[in-house]
Structure 1
Amino acid sequence: MAYTIPETIRSSATAGERLLFAVLKNSLPDDYIVYYEPEILGRHPDFVIIGPDLGLVVLEVKDYTQNTILQVNPDTWMIVNTKGHQTTVKSPLKQARDYMFHISNVLQKDKNLIQTEGPYKFKLKFPTGYGAVFTRLKQDFFVKEGLYSVCEPHLVLTRDEIDPDKEGFSEEHLIEKIMDMFVIPFRLKEPLTKGEIDSIRYHLFPEVRISAEFKAPVPYQDQLLLSLHDIKTMDLHQENLARQIGDKNRLIRGVAGSGKTLILSARAKYLSKQHPDWKILVLCYNISLAQEIKYMIQMKMNEPEDLFDFDPKSQANDMKNIQVFNFHAWLKQELKMKEQQIPLMLKKLAAKETILPSYDAILIDEGQDFEPEWLSLASSLLNPDTQMLLLVEDRAQNIYSRKRSYVQDTGLSFQGRSKILSINYRNTAQIVNFAWDFYRNHSTLKNRVVKGSLEGEEIISPQSTRRKGPEPAIVKCKNLKEEMGFVTKLMKRLHAEKGVPYSEMLVLYRVKRTFNQNIIETIQNELKESAIPSFWLTESADSKRDYEKERGNVIISTIDSSKGLDFQAVFIVNAENMPFALEENKEREVSLLYIGMTRSKDYLSITYSGESEFTKYFDRVKADRLKLRKEKSIIGGSQ
C-alpha cells in the first residue's frame, strides 16, 4: 500500500479522482509516495508519484465522457465544458508534460540530484515521466476514435486499466504502465535513497523543510548549481499532519520530540499563506518557547520557494497577520488585563457586555500547561465562522497538574478530530529509552500509559526512530564544583572532537540556590573559568525574551523554561535536588526530569553530588550497566 499525501482525498473530489486515489494507494508498493493535488511552486498537478525504483511521474486526470470531446490534436482539444459550451483547452498530456518539465527544471539545479559526468551530464539521475488518466473512457473508445494517434498509448490510462471492478484490470499491468510513462525510458540501476527522496521533497514542498547546510549557488563546469548537505525534512507522517490538519478545531497529541511545535509552525505559515486576510494567534505558556516558535515561523515565512531566489540579506520576516505570545504577555499587551480578571471577563463576554480582539485562527502549543479558564478565554475570541483552533499537547510533560475537559473548556468537541504523534524524532534511541524507563519507574500515571489514545488523560508511549548514540552519562561527584568540572571538560571535548557548537549545549538546574550553596553562581563561575561563553536564560523575564539560540553561548536554564526547546547536548546538574523537598507534587518532579532528559538530541549527562529518590535510581542504573559490561566481557573472553 503506497503512502498517500493527504491520507484521504477531499470530499469534493470527482468520482474519477477518488477511484484513481484508491487504486494507486492500494496497488502501488509500500515505499511509493502518492501526492494528490500538491502545490508545487505555484502549480497544481493532479497526482505526483515518487518511487525508489520509478523516479517521478506526473498524472493529469480528466473525467471526460464520449460526448465531451469534439476535436483533438497533440497540443489542444476542443471540448464541451460543464456549462455545455464549446471551448478549447490544452491537451491533457501537454498539461502533464508541462508540469513534469516545471518539476524537472527545479530539481536539475541540485548538484546532488543530477548526473555530473557522461552523455547525460546535468540531467537528473532518475527518470521523470508523465501521463494522462481518463477515468470515464475505455480503451476501445480510444481505438475506435483514433485518439491513440495523438495520445501515445504508453502515456494513457483508461477506465478499464484503473478500475479493479473491471475484468481486464490487474495491478501488475497498472504498475508496468506507470513504469513506462517516460519519453526517454530508462530504469534505475540503483534505487533512489531515502536521502535523495528527501532532497526531492525538500525542493518541491517548502513546507516540509526543517534545515539543510545551504550554500549560495556556485558554478560547476559552467553550470550554476546548488549544493545542499545534511538535509532534514519532516517525515511523511508529519507532512501529512501539517497538510491535513483540516479546518476548524483540531487536537494533536504527541510525545516529546515528535515535532509538535514544528507542525504548529508549518500550520501557521500555511494558514497565513492561504488566508492573508486572517488574523492568526499563536499561544504557549513559556516565554522562551514563544521566542523559539516566533523564530521557527519567521524562518518558514522567509523560506524561498525557489532556493535560487534565496538572499539572506533581504529576509523580510513577514509575519504581518501572525502574532506569537506566551499567554501572560498576550493578556497584558493585547487584552490589557491580568489573570485574576479572566472569570469576570468570561462572564462579560457571555453576556455580550464587552468587546475584545477576535482571531480567525488560534494555535496553542503545550496545551497541557493551560488552565481551563485560559482555554475558555482564548476560544471565546475565536471567529465562529472559522472555528480554527489547533491544540497541541503531551500529557507526559504536564508539570502544572491542570485538569482537562476540552469540551467544557473550549465549547468544542475534539472527538474524531484528533491525531497522534508517537514517534520521537529528536532523541537517539538511547535517550528515548533512558528517559522513558525513568518515567515509567516513577510516574504514578504509569497505569494510564497506552500505545496511542486520542481522548482522556492517557499518556502516549514514545516510539524511537532507532537513531543511535551514546548512552546518557551518569556521574556521581563530591560536590557541584566537581560536577561542573566534569561538565566543562565534556563540553570542550564535544566541541573539539564532535563539532558541537556551544549554542547547541544546555545546562539545566532545578533550583538556583539552597541554604548551603549558590547553584547558579557555581555554574556560571565554572563556565567562565573554562572560557566557555554562557547565557543565563532564566535570569529574568527580559532574558527569556532576549533569547536567541544562535549567539554562540551555552544556555543555562531551569527545566521548566526549557520546554519545547532542544539542543544537541544537555547537562542536568545538581540532580539530587529532584524531587525537590518543597514540592509536594512528586508527579510534577517526574515530568520535569523527563522533560529535561528529552531536550537532548544526541548527548545527555546527569550529574549529582547528593542523594535523593531519583539519584538512588540512577545509582542502580549505573550498577546494572557495570554488571552488563562485566558479563559481556566474560562472554567475549570465553569465546
Structure 2
Amino acid sequence: MAYMVPEVIRTSAAAGERLLFRTLKDHLPSDYVVYFESEIQGSRPDFVIIGPDLGLVVLEVKDYTKSALFEVDREEWLLHGSGGQMEAVKNPYLQARESLRHVVEQLKKDDNLIQQEGKFQGQLKFPQGFGTVFTRMKQKDFIEYSLYDAIAQSFVLCRDEIDPEDEGFSADSLIEKIHGMFTVWSRSRYILSQEDIRFIRNHLIHEVRISAEFRQPAKHQEQLVLSFHNMKALDLQQENMAKQLGDRHRLIRGVAGSGKTLVLASRAKLLSNHYPDWKILVLCSSIALSQSLQQMIDRMMEEPEDLLDWIRLEEQKDGRPRQQNVEVYNFHEWLNKALNSRDKDIPSLIGKLEKKEAILPMYEAILIDEGQDFQPEWLKLLSYLLNPATQNLLLVEDRAQSLFKRKSSLLKDTGLDFRGRSRFLSINYRNTAQIAQFAWDFYQRHSMLQNKVQFGSAKGVEIIPPQSTRRNGPEPSMKRCGSFQEELRAVVEHIRYLHNDHRVPYSEMVILYRVKDNYYSSYMDTIRRMLKVQGLPFHWISENAGTEQELGYTGGDAIIVSDIDSVKGLDFRAVFIVNAENMPFSLEEVEEHEVSLFYIAMTRAMEWLYISYSGDSKFTLYLDEVQQQRQEQKHSVKKMG
C-alpha cells in the first residue's frame, strides 16, 4: 500500500481521479510515495509517483470519452465541448511531458539531487518519466480509433489497466507499465535512498484537506468480534454511566480497554427498551467494529434486565416481532445505504440541510463509537439528522488512539456542545496491568501531546491516563532478530506454545504489521509462506473486499493477520507485532500518527503481547532500552539474593 499525500483525496475530485488514487494506494509498494495535485513551480501535476527503484513519474489524468474526440494528432487534439462547440487542446502526452519538465527544473536547483561529476554532471541522479491516464477509455478504444499513433502505448494507461474490478486488470502489469514510462534509459540502476526521497518531498507542496476516502465494505468473518472474556458484564461505574447519561449531547472519553464500547452498547439497549418508537442509529468508522457492535447489542437484547424485560423476551419467543429500532453501521456504509451518498456529497448535503432544501431520515438518538476518528464534517451532518425534540447524541472516544488531531474544539468544528456533559472512564479492563503500563510508558515517552494529559481533574482533558487495571499477567515480550524470517519462526513457536499449552484458539491470536511490502520484497507474502509451510490456519483481514479469499481461507479457527488500522476496536488474547522497525514509518510526516498506531497495536492484547524486529528505528531503539533496563533489574535482584 503506497503512502499517499494527502492521505485521502478531496471530495470534489473527478471519479476517475478517485479511482486512480485508490488503485495506486492499494497496489503500489509501501515505500512508494504518491502526491495528488502537489504544487511545484506554479504547476499542479495530477499525480507524482516516487519509488526507490522507480525514480519519479508524473501522470496526467484525462476523463475524455471516445465520443468527445473529433480529431487527434501528435500535436493537438480537437474535442467536442460540453456546449457543442469545438475545443482544441494540446496532446495529453505533451501536457504530461511539460508537467515533468516543471518538476525537473525545480528539483535540479537542489544540489543533493543532481550528479556532481561525470558524463551526466548537473542532471538529476535518478530517472524521471511521465505518462497519461485515460479513465473513461479502454485499450480496445485506443486500438479502434488508432490513438496509439498519437501517443505511444508505453505512455498510456487506460481504464481497464487501472480499474481492479475490470477482468483484464493486473497489479503487476500496472507497476510494469509505470516502470516503462521513460524516454531515456540508463544501464546503471539508481536506487533512491530515504534521504533522496526526503529531499524530493521537500520540493512538493500539498494542501491539507479534511475529507475521507470511501472504502468498499469488506467481508469479515463472524469470529472477528470484541472478546467478552474480561467484560461479561458492566461494573457499577459503567452501569451507572450508561443509565445516568441523561438527554442531549453526551461525551464519554476513556482509556483503551475501559469498556467504552460496552457502555455504548448498553446505552443503545436501554434507549431501545424505554423508547420502542424511537429510531436509534449506532455508528463507528470500522467495518469489523460495526459487526462486533451489532453482535454485542444483539447479545444484550437477549439478556433480560428485570422481570418486565424477561416478559418482553418471552413474548417475542411466542412469535411476536422483535424490536428493530436500532441500526448499526460503519459511517460510510450508513452514508451509502441510508442517504444513497458518498463522502464527496457531504458538503452539498450539509448546504441543503442548512437551507432546509433536503429531507433526510431523522433519528431520536445517535451513538458514535471511536469518535476520535470521525471527521468534523461527518459529525456536522449527523447533528442535522437528530430529532430536535430529543437531541440525544452520544460520542465515545479515546484521544490517545486518534489518527488525526483536531485543530479546534468540537463546538467550533461541528456545532455540537458537550460542555458540562462529559464523562470519563479511566480503568483499563482489557489489558493486564503489565501490558497497560508498558503501552502507556511508550505513549508518554513518544507522544507530543504530553501537555494534554490530565491526572485527577477532568477539566480540559484530552488524553486520559489509565489509573488502574484489574488483572495481572506476563510482561510484554520484545525480541530483536537477525532477519524477518527469524522473527516469524519465533512467532510460530509462540503461537504453537499458546495453542497447545494454554489452549488459546487460533482465532484469538493476531499478527499485526505496519506495512505489507516494499519495492524489493513482500512482508505479507513471507508471512503467508511461513504459516502455510508450518501448517497453521490463518485469515488475512484486508481493506479490500474479497482479498481474504485469495488466501484460500475457508472459515473456522484461524490466526488473524492484519495491518494495525483494521483491528481498531477489537481485542485478542495474544498479539504479535512484527517488523516493528517499520514504525515510525519513514514516509509518514506526522510522527504522532505513528505513536497512536503503535499504542493501538499494543492495547489490542488482553493477555500476551509479543513485539519483534530485525532493524533499527526510533521505536525499536526504545524497546532495546527497555530490554536493557529489565536485564539490569534482574542482575540487581540476583546480586541482592
TM-score range, shorter chain: 0.5 to 0.7
Matches within 5 A, 1:446-465: 446-452=450-456, 454=458, 456=460, 458-465=462-469
SS at match of 2:542: helix
Contact 1:453-1:460 at 8 Å conserved across structures? no
User: Post-superposition shift, 1:451?
Assistant: 1.7
Per-residue Cα deviation, 1:468-510 (whole angstroms, up to 9, x for no partner): 1100000111222111111111011111111211111111110
Which is strand-richer, 1 or 2? Answer: 1
Distance in 1, matches of 2:443 and 2:587, equals 21
Q: Which residue of 2 aligns with 1:379?
A: 383
Q: Which residue of 1 aligns with 2:544?
A: 540
Q: Which residue of 1 aligns with 2:282?
A: 282
Contact 1:570-1:597 at 8 Å conserved across structures? yes
Question: 1:390 aligned to 374, 394, 401, which one?
Answer: 394
SS at match of 2:595: helix
Matches within 5 A, 1:147-296: 232-296=232-296
- The two structures, once aligned, show a CA RMSD in angstroms of 3.0
User: Post-superposition shift, 1:211?
Assistant: 8.8
Counterpart code for 1:483 = E
Distance in 2, matches of 1:314 and 1:634, equals 71
Contact 1:286-1:563 at 8 Å conserved across structures? yes
Q: Which residue of 1 aligns with 2:52?
A: none
Q: Which residue of 2 aligns with 1:403?
A: 407
Contact 1:301-1:318 at 8 Å conserved across structures? no
Q: From the superposition, tell whether residues 564 and 344 of structure 1 become closer, same or farther in structure 2 (CA, over 3 Å).
A: same
Contact 1:571-1:605 at 8 Å conserved across structures? yes
Per-residue Cα deviation, 1:372-430 (whole angstroms, up to 9, x for no partner): 11100011100111101000011100112343522234433211111000111110110
* Pairing 1:525–2:529 present: yes
Q: From the superposition, tell whether residues 561 and 454 of structure 1 become closer, same or farther in structure 2 (CA, over 3 Å).
A: farther
Counterpart code for 1:433 = Q
Contact 1:423-1:463 at 8 Å conserved across structures? yes
Q: Which residue of 2 aligns with 1:345?
A: 349
Distance in 1, matches of 2:532 and 2:258, equals 35
User: Post-superposition shift, 1:364?
Assistant: 0.5
Question: 1:490 aligned to 494, 501, 513, which one?
Answer: 494
Per-residue Cα deviation, 1:93-118 (whole angstroms, up to 9, x for no partner): xxxxxxxxxxxxxxxxxxxxxxxxxx
Counterpart code for 2:338 = E
Distance in 1, matches of 2:554 and 2:439, equals 24
Q: Which residue of 1 aligns with 2:567?
A: 562
Matches within 5 A, 1:84-103: none
Q: Which residue of 2 aligns with 1:327?
A: 331
Q: Which residue of 2 aligns with 1:471?
A: 475
Contact 1:415-1:455 at 8 Å conserved across structures? no
Contact 1:450-1:460 at 8 Å conserved across structures? yes
User: Post-superposition shift, 1:337?
Assistant: 1.3
Q: Which residue of 2 aligns with 1:95?
A: none
Distance in 2, matches of 1:573 and 1:541, equals 24
SS at match of 2:339: coil
Distance in 2, matches of 1:250 and 1:331, equals 23
Per-residue Cα deviation, 1:271-304 (whole angstroms, up to 9, x for no partner): 1111111111111111111111111111112235
Q: Which residue of 1 aligns with 2:446?
A: 442
* Pairing 1:575–2:580 present: yes
Aligned residues: 409
Question: 2:632 aligned to 616, 627, 630, which one?
Answer: 627
Contact 2:231-2:429 at 8 Å conserved across structures? no
User: Post-superposition shift, 1:454?
Assistant: 4.5
Distance in 2, matches of 1:265 and 1:385, equals 23
Distance in 2, matches of 1:576 and 1:625, equals 20
Per-residue Cα deviation, 1:513-568 (whole angstroms, up to 9, x for no partner): 112321111122222222221111125245799xx999422111111111111111
* Pairing 1:591–2:628 present: no
Distance in 2, matches of 1:481 and 1:631, equals 34
SS at match of 2:390: coil
Q: Which residue of 2 aligns with 1:430?
A: 434
Q: From the superposition, tell whether residues 611 and 549 of structure 1 become closer, same or farther in structure 2 (CA, over 3 Å).
A: farther
Q: From the superposition, tell whether residues 285 and 319 of structure 1 become closer, same or farther in structure 2 (CA, over 3 Å).
A: farther
User: Post-superposition shift, 1:458?
Assistant: 2.1
Q: From the superposition, tell whether residues 325 and 403 of structure 1 become closer, same or farther in structure 2 (CA, over 3 Å).
A: farther
SS at match of 1:538: coil
Q: Which residue of 2 aligns with 1:9?
A: none
Structure with more relative contact order (C-alpha pairs < 8 Å, separation 6 or more): 2
Contact 1:211-1:233 at 8 Å conserved across structures? no
More displaced, 527-536 or 447-456? Answer: 447-456
Q: Which residue of 2 aligns with 1:33?
A: none
Contact 1:568-1:601 at 8 Å conserved across structures? yes
Q: From the superposition, tell whether residues 212 and 399 of structure 1 become closer, same or farther in structure 2 (CA, over 3 Å).
A: closer
Q: Which residue of 2 aligns with 1:414?
A: 418
Distance in 2, matches of 1:303 and 1:317, equals 17
SS at match of 1:458: coil
Counterpart code for 1:504 = E
* Pairing 1:369–2:399 present: no
SS at match of 1:427: coil
Q: From the superposition, tell whether residues 544 and 590 of structure 1 become closer, same or farther in structure 2 (CA, over 3 Å).
A: farther
Distance in 2, matches of 1:455 and 1:425, equals 24
Q: From the superposition, tell whether residues 254 and 231 of structure 1 become closer, same or farther in structure 2 (CA, over 3 Å).
A: closer
SS at match of 1:514: coil
Distance in 2, matches of 1:540 and 1:241, equals 37
Matches within 5 A, 1:120-159: none
Per-residue Cα deviation, 1:432-468 (whole angstroms, up to 9, x for no partner): 1100010011111112211255464621111222411
User: Post-superposition shift, 1:316?
Assistant: 11
Distance in 2, matches of 1:384 and 1:286, equals 28
Gap regions ≥5 residues in structure 1 = 1-209, 214-229
Per-residue Cα deviation, 1:14-58 (whole angstroms, up to 9, x for no partner): xxxxxxxxxxxxxxxxxxxxxxxxxxxxxxxxxxxxxxxxxxxxx
* Pairing 1:614–2:582 present: no
Q: Which residue of 1 aligns with 2:363?
A: 359
Q: From the superposition, tell whether residues 381 and 292 of structure 1 become closer, same or farther in structure 2 (CA, over 3 Å).
A: same
Distance in 1, matches of 2:392 and 2:592, equals 33
* Pairing 1:515–2:529 present: no
Distance in 1, matches of 2:458 and 2:323, equals 32
SS at match of 2:253: strand
